[in-house]
Amino acid sequence: MARRVAYGEGRDLLISTTVDVVAERGLRGLTFRAIADRAGVNNSLIAHHFGTREALLAAALEWAVEQSIESSGLLDLASEQVFADTLLDAVSRRPQLQAFQYEMILEARRNELFRAPVAKLYTRYHEVVIESLRHYGVDGDVDALARSTFAALDGLVLQYMAGVDPEELRAALVQVWTSLRPVLGTSAA
């Protein structure tokens, strides 16, 4: 029997459940029935809110990115250790957010319907890293610095997801921060 979902909460429940299902089963394991069963709702609620699988996945990708950004705390990182600890903690607390995003990135190579949402993912992360660098006093054109910094962070998160020792990744994150120190303002020293 389907559970009752409070008005206004159904969409968020379906999105978070979609992220969990894809992180666990991959995109090939994603069906409206799998989401409905996991969320404990009628699968007609999915069609009502999203219409198509692609629309559901695009909404879930946006949500997962924003959840990851929020948990990263990039604007509140005071030292190398806080930077490393906060990012590793964010990934370890909700690894399904990253697993879902990587599934979508891989699918975008095969399915052009997902290329625009994935491009939006990278644009959003790029914007946040630029904002963070500016927050820490980096002036001028920070586009390339932001892109290379995010590439390092993205790679380290992928390594975490692949099972690389978190202490090795912590050391690498400290190194990322340390390499940024010469361009960061005094608030990051």
Mean pLDDT computed over 11-16: 93
- Predicted local confidence at residue 78, as pLDDT: 67
Q: What is the mean pLDDT of residues 30-50?
A: 92
Task: Report the C-alpha gap between 28 and 87 in whole angstroms.
Answer: 29
Q: What's the pLDDT band for 8 if we cut at 50, 70, 90? A: low
Would the CA dihedral through 34, 35, 40, 44 be positive or negative?
negative
Q: Among candidates 102, 88, 89, which has minimal Cα distance to 22? A: 102
Type of residue numbered 72: S
Question: pTM of the full predicted structure?
Answer: 0.86
- Say if residues 162 and 153 touch (Cβ distance below 8 Å): no
* The predicted structure's pLDDT at residue 7: 52
* CA 127/CA 143 separation, integer angstroms: 9
Confidence of residue 135 (pLDDT cuts 50, 70, 90): confident
Q: How far is CA 18 from CA 21, 33, 98, 149, in A?
A: 5, 11, 13, 29
Enumerate the H helices of 26-114 as residue ranges: 32-39, 44-50, 53-72, 80-93, 95-110
Q: What confidence score (pLDDT) does residue 100 get?
A: 96
Residue 20 has pLDDT above 90, yes or no: yes
> Average pLDDT for residues 94-116, to the nearest whole number?
95
Specify the pLDDT at position 177.
87
Residue 164, φ and ψ in degrees, nearest 5? -65, 145
* Rounded average pLDDT over 17-43: 94
**Cβ pair 130, 143 in contact under 8 A:** yes
| Residue 136 reports pLDDT greater than 90 | no
**pLDDT over 70 for what percent of the chain?**
91
pLDDT, tens only, 42-99: 888 899 899 999 999 999 999 999 999 998 877 776 678 888 888 899 899 999 999 9
Q: What is the pLDDT of residue 6?
A: 52
